[in-house]
Chains A and B, each alone.
Chain A
């Protein structure tokens, strides 16, 4: 259900937009900005199950968080 195949029409543009949004923000404001973006996108997706799958995929994708992912 969590789509992980390439789907973005402009991946470089997405990366640039995210980095640009955070430019000049202190870490605390950055963190809240990311949280707002995540909550907006979660609501757009409209499925807590998909977001949970994304949380797991994200935890699994790096060695320092892998231990927290669902078995």
Chain B
């Protein structure tokens, strides 16, 4: 099996040091671990990554990358490659028995750099992240390095690392556990990982074929070629197709992995005339569960190590990517002395509600796809029968609620609105893209937001705002950097030539919007006032309210 992708092999290098101290150690060089390492490196922070293997993700795994993830990878520099190599899709079709009951179109809004979804095998993304980590000069990737022991200390975490050249100890000031659903770090620390187990099994068959299927998401409930189960078809790069068969709880996982048996299932689906080869087979069960807290002293959990969801809705990989996006700037700020350690508690406050939202949605999808009793099946089938004829029933059909970016509504870092807004982006929302022009050249708004600073989006010409005060806000670590947006082309401003930036942010002349380094809205005002901006920045850095007033003067 296999053949469309050649797995890179990364060289193991023996580590001479014993008991060395590192500010940040990431356990698990998968998608999330590499993303958080690269994000930290781009903020000037050195990172050691430990991975027990010497290559990227085996199998395509997380293939469905949502817009917010694409924007995050865009900020990290690998977004354009994802767009070039990946498969963009907008249409989904739902079938029941032998009939199509409806189709949906995600109808992507124009005027964004990235589409709603791009499908791409996880190994490509990881390979590019490895390359970017290496190029950063600040990420040390240690392959064939398995964490064999973990002990929390007051000032960090003591690790024992097993390698082909023997074991060594090291001390991490901060340990980022990105070691997946079966996290060794989580189990070593004895942390309960509780939630719902689903009594069902699924088979993934990645199939290479030259087929006439369009790049769409097709979902079958109880089709003639797979009676009693569901089937999902998704296109990936290189003419690889993901086919996901629901097998039921009684299926024998070993027998189901037999390539002949899988080929029989695929042939029943595609018909006898479609030529295909099998690329990857996996049989899996899943749970929806999470850790009670993601931060445990100096150990912080991200991705599947922190929370696990069903695959329906593409909320696993996309949730993990948002964890990395949320944590990296905070940890860098704390390590570089720009923020108090309390800022890291906001990772729990922001990402736990986001994980719960993903768990709720993916649990509901799973309950629809796998009815628990006769009544549940009757309601599900009734919704599908009605959906063929009546639009009202289509929103009831749940074949996966596709990942949406988390709006950090209850964030302790946000400064609540004091004025009236007609929509736009409330504090906690991730920034939304818009086409702009800079010096006459086409550009995107998101390219100018976040990074190693707060961004103050000012709707007006540079001359409309007090330059001296803005220069003061631009001092120090993680300063406030102004970005001017104007309706007409102006020197030193982004030209909002379609008016979409103003519309999407509900901006009027003079509006000021403060964005965090991860491009989430921290605060917004109808008029610029330096003291309010300084105070909102300090609040977003996790300083206590009494301190922000004093420090903002």
- Chain A residues 13-41 with CB under 8 Å of chain B are 28, 31-36, 38-40
- CB closest chain-A residue, reference B396: A39
In the bound assembly, the distance between CA atoms of A66 and B386 in angstroms comes to: 30
Which residue of chain A has the shortest Cβ distance to B393 in the bound complex?
A39
Q: Is the CB of B392 within 8 A of A32?
A: no
7 shortest interchain CB distances as A-B pairs: A35-B382, A31-B378, A36-B382, A43-B392, A35-B378, A35-B379, A32-B378
* B374 on interface, CB distance cutoff 8 Å: yes
Interface string of B350-385 (1 = CB under 8 A from A): 000000000000000000000000110011011101
B103 to chain A, nearest CB (A): 20
- 18 A-B pairs with CB atoms under 8 Å apart are A28-B374, A31-B374, A31-B375, A32-B378, A32-B381, A33-B382, A35-B375, A35-B378, A35-B379, A35-B381, A35-B382, A35-B383, A36-B385, A39-B382, A39-B383, A39-B386, A39-B396, A43-B392
Total chain B interface residues with beta-carbon distance under 8 A? 13
A43 CB to nearest B CB, Å: 4
Give the chain B neighbours of A38 by CB distance below 8 A.
382
Per DSSP, chain B at the interface is helix
- Within A22-65, which residues are at the interface with B (CB < 8 Å)? 28, 31-36, 38-40, 43
Closest A residue to B395 by beta carbon equals A43
Q: Give every chain B residue within 8 A of A40 (Cβ-Cβ).
A: 386, 390, 392
B374: A residues at CB distance < 8 A: 28, 31
Bound CA span A70–B309, Å? 29
CA distance A32 to B382 in the complex (A): 5
Q: Which residues of the partner chain A approach B386 to less than 8 Å between Cβ atoms?
A: 36, 39-40
Residues of A participating in the B interface, judged by any CB pair closer than 8 Å: 28, 31-36, 38-40, 43
> Chain B's nearest CB lies how many Å from the CB of A34?
8
A27 (CB) vs chain B CBs: closest residue: B374
With A31-B374, A39-B386 given, name 17 new contacts (CB 8 A).
A31-B378, A32-B378, A32-B381, A32-B382, A33-B382, A35-B375, A35-B382, A35-B383, A36-B385, A38-B382, A39-B379, A39-B393, A39-B396, A40-B386, A40-B390, A40-B392, A43-B393
Closest chain A residue, CB of each to CB of B375: A31
The A/B interface has a contact count, at CB < 8 Å, of 32
B379 to chain A: which residues have CB within 8 Å? Answer: 35, 39
User: Nearest Cβ in chain B — how far from A29, in angstroms?
Assistant: 9
Interface string of B299-318 (1 = CB under 8 A from A): 00000000000000000000
Q: How far is the CA of A40 from the CA of B382 in the complex (A)?
A: 10
- Tell me, rounded to whole Å, the shortest Cβ–Cβ distance linking B486 to chain A: 44
Minimum Cβ distance to chain A for residue B394 (Å): 11
In whole angstroms, what is the CA distance A39 to B387 when docked? Answer: 11
- Give the Cβ gap from A33 to chain B, nearest Cβ, in Å: 8
Q: Mark B408-427, 1 if CB is under 8 A from A, else 0.
A: 00000000000000000000
On chain A, the residues within 8 Å of B381 by CB distance are: 32, 35
Contacts of B396 on A, CB cut-off 8 Å? Answer: 39
Closest Cβ of chain A: how far from B389's Cβ, in Å?
A: 10
B385 nearest in chain A by CB position:
A36
Tell me, rounded to whole Å, the shortest Cβ–Cβ distance linking B112 to chain A.
32
Query: Hey, which chain B residues are within 8 Å of A35, CB to CB?
Result: 375, 378-379, 381-383
- Say how far B157's CB is from chain A's closest CB, in angstroms: 46
A28 to B378, CA, bound (A): 8
Interchain CA distance A32-B381 in the complex, whole Å: 7
CB distance from A62 to the nearest CB of B (A): 16
Chain A residue at minimal CB-CB distance from B376 = A35
Minimum Cβ distance to chain A for residue B240 (Å): 37
Query: What residues of B have a CB within 8 angstroms of the CB of A34 in the complex?
Result: 378
Are A32 and B385 in contact, with the CB atoms below 8 A? yes
Contacts of A43 in B (CB 8 A): 392-393
Chain A residues lying within 8 Å of B375, measured Cβ to Cβ, are: 31, 35
A43 to B382, CA, bound (A): 13
Q: Which residues of B contact A33 (CB under 8 A)?
A: 382
Least Cβ–Cβ distance between A69 and chain B, in angstroms: 17
A35's closest neighbor in chain B, by CB?
B382
Residue of A nearest to B379 (CB): A35
Residues of A close to B378: CB separation below 8 A:
28, 31-32, 34-35
CA distance A36 to B378 in the complex (A): 9
